[in-house]
Amino acid sequence: MANSNSLQEISKLQQQIEQLKDAAINELKARRAELEAELKSVDAELLNLTGKPAVTRRGRTPGVAAAPAGAPASEGKKPDLQELKALLSAAPNKTISLRKEGYDVRNVKIMAMANPHLLRMGGKGAWPEVTLLK
């Protein structure tokens, strides 16, 4: 009998733990909503004062390494897939050096990840290359 009583106590404690977790989650969600509302009001005030929208941060693209802190935003050319294919087909060995040619590495890397049957990233260090496979 002591064993079943202990199991009942454990079950009650587990239920209490779940209730506490749910309460904590709800509290954090409510706090997040409040903070998002406050950020929106601050952004609106900045827009009114400066005439420019507030700078917002975008989430990371999975599989793409983040730039080091303090690194300038990339200002390279951003060709679409068709333009890149045409450029690569005209290049020697169907390969170009992205930095040397002035292309945005992140943009091309995302296209290469989305089209692994068509594009391959390569190169060493700070001089990445992209190659057309077909």
> Over the stretch 29-51, which tens digit does the pLDDT of each residue have?
999 999 999 999 988 888 888 88
Give residue 103's pLDDT. Answer: 87
Give residue 80's pLDDT. Answer: 86
Residue 73 domain flag: no
Residue 64 domain flag: no
91 and 52 in a common domain: no
pLDDT higher than 90, residue 19: yes
Residue 10 domain flag: yes
Residue 76 domain flag: no
Q: Centre a 10 Å sphere on the Cβ of residue 10 and count the other Cβ atoms it contains.
A: 10
53 and 7 in a common domain: yes
Give residue 134's pLDDT. Answer: 75
Give pTM, 2 decimals.
Answer: 0.44
pLDDT higher than 80, residue 77: yes
- Domain that includes residue 20, residue range: 1-57
10 and 45 in a common domain: yes
- Tens of pLDDT, residue by residue over 50-65, are 887 777 665 555 555 5
Domain count, the chain: 2
Alpha-carbon distance values, 29 to 21, 33, 59, 80 (Å): 12, 6, 19, 39
Residue 96 neighbours by CB under 8 Å, 6+ apart: 87, 88, 103, 129, 130
